[in-house]
């Protein structure tokens, strides 16, 4: 193996940082980043699914027939999504209600299926877990950052705490759908600027 474990992990943080570098998984990115808390919660749930499904796909990579591999991956992913769904219902119910439909929709998050197909199906379990963890952490941080920008500007709070004085007029555009698109577009532009140096 040419790359070390640390390299597999760290590429998810910048080189292949989702959703900016790989333009995948945009729906949850736009939908749940109304606040930092929601963004991080969604990121952690996705990371869990990514790591578990990468591990299982990698362990089974020599057993799954090539022709029906996508169907097998989807079932593996759906199983872990159900696990996350039930866990969140039990231990994080308010967050579960807040994220709503987007928890079951982790199944169709292209990042998860993309990593299973592009990485875990070809690499050893340890590396696949490192890859899943790296991409997951990168995704969580991206969602957290986007959530922070939108929450601070749109609500005037950060993680529920007041940032500005009471005279601050919240810029509600940012927490609505149009704000999500514009904000993500501008952040992508900034990342491009930083990356092209």
Partner 1 sequence: MGDIFVLIISCIFINNIVLAQYLGNCPFLGTSKKMETAVGMSMAVIFVLTMAGVITWIVDTYFLVGLGIEFLRTIAFILVIASLVQFVEMFLKKSIPALYAGLGIFLPLITTNCAVMGVCLINVQEEYTFVEALISSIAYAVGFGLALVLFAGLRERINIGRVPKPLQDTSIGLVTAGIISLAFFAFKGMV
Least separation in angstroms between residue 156's CB and partner 1 is: 21
Cα three-residue angle 195-1-80, rounded to 5 degrees = 75
| Selection from 19, 15, 20, 6 nearest residue 191 by Cα | 20
Token readout for 37 is: 């808390």
Q: Does 178 bind partner 1 (CB under 8 A)?
A: yes
Q: Does 57 bind partner 1 (CB under 8 A)?
A: no
Distance of alpha carbon 36 from alpha carbon 72, whole angstroms: 34
Least separation in angstroms between residue 99's CB and partner 1 is: 12
Token readout for 152 is: 């601070």
Q: Which residues contact 12 (CB under 8 A, 6 or more apart)?
A: 18, 131, 133, 134, 135, 136, 137, 138, 139
Residues 76-95 that bind partner 1 (CB under 8 A): 78-79, 81-82, 85-86
| Binds partner 1 by CB under 8 A, chosen from 110, 141, 145, 148 | 110
Q: Does 104 bind partner 1 (CB under 8 A)?
A: yes
Residues that bind partner 1 (CB under 8 A): 23-27, 30-31, 70-71, 74-75, 78-79, 81-82, 85-86, 101, 104-105, 107-110, 113, 176-186, 188-190, 192-193, 196
């Amino acid at each position: 193996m040419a790359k070390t474990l640390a390299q597999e992990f760290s590429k998810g943080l910048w080189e292949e940082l989702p959703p900016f570098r790989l333009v995948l998984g945009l729906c949850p990115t736009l939908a749940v980043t109304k606040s930092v808390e929601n963004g991080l919660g969604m990121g952690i749930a996705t990371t869990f699914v990514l790591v578990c499904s990468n591990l299982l796909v990698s362990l089974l990579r020599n057993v799954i027939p090539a022709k029906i591999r996508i169907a097998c991956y989807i079932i593996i992913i759906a199983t872990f999504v159900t696990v996350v769904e039930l866990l969140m219902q039990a231990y994080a119910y308010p967050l579960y209600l807040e994220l709503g439909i987007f928890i079951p929709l982790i199944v169709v998050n292209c990042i998860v299926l993309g990593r299973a197909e592009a990485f875990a199906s070809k690499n050893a379990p340890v590396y696949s877990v490192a890859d899943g963890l790296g991409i997951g952490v990168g995704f969580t941080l991206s969602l957290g950052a986007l959530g922070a920008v939108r929450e601070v500007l749109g609500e005037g709070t950060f993680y529920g705490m007041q940032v500005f004085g009471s005279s601050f007029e919240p810029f509600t555009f940012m927490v609505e759908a149009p704000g999500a698109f514009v904000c993500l577009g501008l952040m992508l532009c900034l990342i491009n600027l930083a990356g092209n140096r």
